[in-house]
Every structure is written in C-alpha cells, then in structure tokens.
Amino acid sequence: MNKEFIKVLQEGKVGIIQFNRPKALHALNRQMVDEIVGQLKSFDQDDRIRVILLMGDERAFAAGADIDEMMDDTPLTLEFLDPFAIWDEISNVKKPTIAAVNGFALGGGFELALHCDLIIGAENAQFGFPEVKLGVMPGAGGTQFLTKAMGRRKALEWIWLGEPMSAQEALHYGVINRIVAPELVEEEAMRLANQLAEQAPISLRLIKEAVYAAEDQPVREGKKLERKNFYLSFASHDQKEGMQAFKEKRLPSFKGV
Ligand code: CO8
C-alpha cells in the first residue's frame, strides 16, 4: 500500500498516513500531496477505517511546500496547474482526521495540519507561515484557517512576521487541541483516534458537517443543517443501539450503519 512519499498503515480501525520524505523534512512536492489526498479519499471510502491519522517523524510533520519544485513557477504555470485545487478535497473527507505534529509544521505543512479536524502537538513542535520571508504568502488555506482559529489581529501578526509559533502559543490561541511530550505524540494521537473509532461513525460524520457549517454559514442556516442531521441520525441502527445500550446499562457496539 506504500507509495513513493508516504507510508500507509492500518492499526485496528485507524488508517495512518505517515509522510516519508525525511531528508527534505517531508517538504510537500506535488506528487506527495497527490499521494496524501488520494490515500485520504481511499481511507474515507474504506468501511474498515473509522478515523484517519496523519504524521511525519520526530523532526518534522512537514516543513512546507517543496521550495525547489516551486521556485521557477510563474503565475501562468500556477494558473494552469492549479496545485491548490486538490487541497479542497481534504475538506470533503467525512471521517475524523487527526494531525500528530512533532517538530516543524511550516507553510504548506502547517496548512495540511490545519486541514485536519484535530491537531496534537509535541511540546517542541513549531507551527508557522514563513512564506513572507520567501517573498510569497500562504496559498493552501493558511490565511483562512488561522484567522478562523485565532482572530484577525493575531493571525496577521503571525503571518506578517513569519515567525514560528510554539506549541504552547498554538494551544493558547486554539490552533491545536493538545500538547504532549515529543515521545508521546503518536501514542496520544492513537489513543484519541481509538477513542473516536469507538463512537458512532454516523454521529461523528453528521457532527463534523454541522460544526464546519458553523464556520461557513450564518447561524440560522447552520441550525437548519444541525436539525436535519439530528433527524437523520435517527435513521441509523446505531441510534437504536446507543439508546438500547443505555437502557440495558451496557456499552454500545456501534456498526456505522
Ligand atoms: N522545501 C524544500 N526543501 C526543504 C524544505 C522545503 N520547504 N524545508 C527543508 N528542506 C530541506 C533542506 O533544503 C535540507 O535539504 P539538504 O539537506 O539537501 O540541504 C533538508 O530539508 C534539511 O533542512 P535544513 O538543513 O534546512 O534543516 P534545519 O534543521 O537547519 O532547518 C527548517 C529546518 C527551519 C525547517 C528549514 O529547513 C527551513 O526553513 N525550511 C523551509 C521552511 C519554509 O520556508 N517553508 C515554507 C515553504 S513555502 C510554502 O509552504 C508555501 C505553501 C503553499 C501551499 C503548499 C502547496 C504544496
């Protein structure tokens, strides 16, 4: 299942995408992004998988887009290639996605983490958008995701200065979910993934859609979607199972149907 720039693993109900370009700190070239997005879509379609985990190694999650590949681009090559279009497909993944970040998550690497639903960071993780120092700017959603997470003023300060943000600062501003010791990042991410994998998959999916609507839509529309999804959850076997298990004082066993 491995590809040139990623390793693909499965542990129980968790699908794992491990970046595999260590010599370049997992800098994201276009093929690597294709492989990552292709695998995300494939896990999303795979009934055995309930949660998807993305990770790098102990040095880096990913140190950005591949500068070597990008440096000779022109507005026209970018316009025709449209390398960011594929990133939108990450936002279409229905299952929970978790980024486990050790070391650097910079530029496109930070954007990839921000495309995930949850982010676990090592105490020594560094998040940032150094694009300004290269004379460019974030292009794969960074200005949008960071601003939604921390507000306009702080987002502008970080993206203008291009300095790395510590894990503590990222946690403080609501950019990441949890911090753990570097050697525990994978373990904590797996623990969280396994916990989510035991929840009712249809509930998780309907909740994800409704929570993202809170960012993208006016409250009135978001509430309509929430209500529809609540009603929809009653079409599932898992709703019967969850409520029956409560009555019988036992743990539910959710099937995702
Ligand atoms: N692209 C290409 N190669 C890289 C990148 C990168 N982004 N980052 C690191 N590398 C390479 C280095 O060139 C080096 O290669 P070599 O050994 O052949 O010289 C190797 O990885 C190890 O890096 P360093 O020797 O520099 O390691 P240090 O520990 O000294 O420094 C840093 C680590 C601080 C992370 C440093 O490597 C660095 O500053 N990297 C660049 C970070 C950066 O500017 N990222 C933003 C890139 S622009 C971007 O992401 C635009 C986003 C657009 C959307 C994404 C579309 C895919």
Pairing, β 60-62 against β 104-106:
parallel
Rounded to the nearest whole angstrom, what is the distance from the C-alpha of residue 56 to the centroid of ligand 1? 14
Q: Is the ipTM of this complex over 0.95?
A: yes
Active-site residue identified among 56, 64, 103, 108: 108
CATH of segment(s) 201-247? 1.10.12.10
Q: In this predicted structure, what is the pLDDT of residue 2?
A: 82
Residues in the chain: 257
**Statement: residue 1 has pLDDT above 80:** no
Active-site residue identified among 35, 131, 188, 226: 131
Which protein residues are within 6 Å of ligand 1, measured from CB? 24-25, 27-28, 33, 63-68, 83, 104, 106-108, 111, 130-131, 134, 138-140
Give the sign of the dihedral formed by CA 216, CA 175, CA 16, CA 59: positive
Average pLDDT score, the chain? 97
- 51 φ, ψ (degrees, to nearest 5): -140, 145
Percent of the chain with pLDDT over 70: 100
Active site residue 221: no
Angle at 138 between CA 183 and CA 153, to 5 degrees: 90
Q: How confident is the model over 138-154, as pLDDT tens digits?
A: 999 999 999 999 999 99
Active-site residue identified among 65, 105, 170, 213: 65
Active site residue 58: no
CATH of segment(s) 6-197? 3.90.226.10
Q: How confident is the model over 63-102, as pLDDT tens digits?
A: 999 999 999 999 999 999 999 999 999 999 999 999 999 9
Q: Residue of the nearest CA to atom 41 in ligand 1?
A: 63
Burial of 124 (0-12, 13-18, 19+ CB in 10 A): middle
CA 237, CA 26: separation in Å to the nearest integer? 42
Rounded to the nearest whole angstrom, what is the distance from the C-alpha of residue 213 to the centroid of ligand 1? 34
Give me the residue spans of the domains in the chain.
6-197, 201-247
Active site residue 111: yes
- Atom of ligand 1 at shortest distance to CA of 140? 54
